[in-house]
Amino acid sequence: MPIIVNLDVMLARRKLKLKELSEMVGVSNVNLSILKQGKVKAIRFSTLEAICEALDCQPGDILEYQRKD
């Protein structure tokens, strides 16, 4: 998949655990775990906005595009 999810990197930078983020944004720990692993097929903008607000970051800090070569 050419979209890389860097949620684990942002959590480490903010010294937060996935459970803490889950409580902050109101998304289940399981769903955030699936996102963190890059196994998600879609993400709602409202969820992405809540994550960015909680982590004080931009969407590009969490999502990265890599070309297939």
Q: Would you say the pTM of this structure is higher than 0.85?
A: yes
pLDDT, one tens digit per residue, over 49-64 is 999 999 999 999 999 9
- Measured from the Cβ of residue 15, the count of other Cβ atoms closer than 10 Å reads 7
All structural domains of the chain: 3-63 (1.10.260.40)
- Measured from the Cβ of residue 6, the count of other Cβ atoms closer than 10 Å reads 17
Q: Is the dihedral of CA 25, 28, 33, 36 positive or negative?
A: negative
Q: How far apart are CA 46 and CA 40, in angstroms?
A: 15
Name the one residue in this structure whose structure tokens are 């960015």.
52
pLDDT, one tens digit per residue, over 8-55 is 999 999 999 999 999 999 999 999 999 999 999 999 999 999 999 999
Candidates 66, 37, 69, 62; CA nearest to 47 is 62
pLDDT of residue 69 exceeding 80, the answer is no
